[in-house]
Structure 1
């Protein structure tokens, strides 16, 4: 979610609030179905565009949601070399799907014209890229890429050659996820239990999380005082502008999260939904190695073995 409101980010201490084991429910209004796909690769991320939902995954496949199955929109990745695609995001107008992956792969896919632009290896860098965040409209986006080298590569000119710069926010540990709520305001998390914040897109500050015991894999940045982080041990941390509040789903490792106020979805070894009372595990036809989630129409979860779940 991209919101342009920019407010002062306040620091606070971490607070822990462990929950009991999460019960499994299967209410009629929460039915997930397993969808057919045209490939058999791990799908790592999913987004909703103006042309519907798209997923990215192994061997450079980009899948699009069709009437009867998820078909192939593009294959081979932006370079045609079949690099795995690990992260994706969509421009504010929903017209361009950006994705990143192994060996420096960066692609920009026009969901209307089906054109694919290759922005790979910025400044000749071919590290593995784990996630991407884009803000702004098609053709004039700010692009932020997080990778294994611990650096964030960014371009304020739609990823054009010669417009990329980079910054190392922390210790150099792998950056696993990045998300923005404003044109140049967002958050990133790394494999060293650290959360970073920026309000100009180029300089970053550590904002937590003290006493965290698990690595972080997913982040949803909705505002300076509305941030959710998920990671190992089934942990969910929420920053409300004053303190970090911890919740526990009981899952082994959560890989992605998408929140809207007090409600949201998180995925890992299962699908979890949050309402005003807390997190609840949902009944699904598949539940292992889930990697990405998007809260759209429909809600979509993707994962290993070309798993696609819809609700």
Structure 2
């Protein structure tokens, strides 16, 4: 099933992305190029959609990668109050971009029409929402939102008012990342060194990681036997369905990870990007020293971070 999660490989929008002629600022030795953006605040997440790539950030800003360059398409977030946006995910058809952030902000943005529906404060909850996962098509999606208090809020009715429920899978530690690989199957990580798995979207079971000794930040859920977690001290953990295998790559915090079929990336502090190829991680040269918060692979690979930085390859 074709999926347009925030870390999936773009298919439908490949032509649009390849045709974009975004102005280059600085090119790195390993093919990463820094491009101009209309914002100078932190961009926290990025996703490919059925039209173009979109990134979300501080102040509720949403920027889109168009042929003439990156442009602001939304300001102020779903409520208009300027709440920072921390997470983004798209429906399976790529037509709706779901946004989450501070003070209970949740929005459903139609990338084809520009229409934004405010789904904020489900059940009057105004916690800081860190990440979002979405499965299903536009208008009929299952939506999962992770917050700073250790709760996962979910709606099987496209986020409609009154359809939200929640569960606390762990001890109440914040959940920085959540991702699904199937209709109701996926994983989440918390800041207390735990990884959780669900196969029904409602109940969660811990699957590790014992004695991790680092804070978890990033998550890539590709199957029940194919999970990757990134964390502090440039640590990567890979799960094959029975055991976790750790690997230390250096000292930078790795805030996001995206791997599939033996290749991918992990990104983090100080402009760090590690490339994954045939089972090996290698640090690449980048033209920025800013913290990179998220990575999305597609016909054009895109990393976003502090200072409105966007790197493309």
TM-score (norm 2): 0.90
What is the CA-CA distance between 1:251 and the residue it aligns to? 3.5
Number of equivalences? 288
Aligned partner of 1:75 in structure 2 is 75
Residues 220-259 of structure 1 aligned to structure 2 (within 5 Å) = 220-259=220-259
Aligned partner of 1:284 in structure 2 is 286
Contact 2:273/2:283 (<8 A) preserved: yes
Where does structure 2 lack aligned partners over 5 or more consecutive residues? 5-26
Aligned partner of 1:271 in structure 2 is 273
What is the CA-CA distance between 1:122 and the residue it aligns to? 0.4
What does the per-residue CA deviation read over 1:255-307, in whole Å, with 9 as the maximum and x for residues that have no partner?
00111122111100201101115111111111331000001120000000000
User: Displaced runs of 4+ in structure 1, greater than 4 A?
Assistant: none
Aligned partner of 1:109 in structure 2 is 109
Structure-2 separation of matches of 1:302 and 1:41: 11
SS of the counterpart of 1:305? helix
Greater RCO (CA < 8 Å, at least 6 residues apart): 1
Contact 1:151/1:172 (<8 A) preserved: yes
**179-188 vs 64-73, greater mean Cα deviation:** 64-73
Structure-1 separation of matches of 2:28 and 2:289: 17
Residues 170-181 of structure 1 aligned to structure 2 (within 5 Å) = 170-181=170-181
The answer to whether 1:151 aligns with 2:151 is: yes
Larger relative helix fraction? 2
SS of the counterpart of 2:176? strand
Aligned-residue CA RMSD in angstroms? 1.4
Where does structure 1 lack aligned partners over 5 or more consecutive residues? 4-25
Contact 1:189/1:219 (<8 A) preserved: yes
SS of the counterpart of 2:254? coil
Residues 154-233 of structure 1 aligned to structure 2 (within 5 Å) = 154-233=154-233
Structure-2 separation of matches of 1:41 and 1:98: 20
What does the per-residue CA deviation read over 1:62-99, in whole Å, with 9 as the maximum and x for residues that have no partner?
00002232100111000000000001111110101011
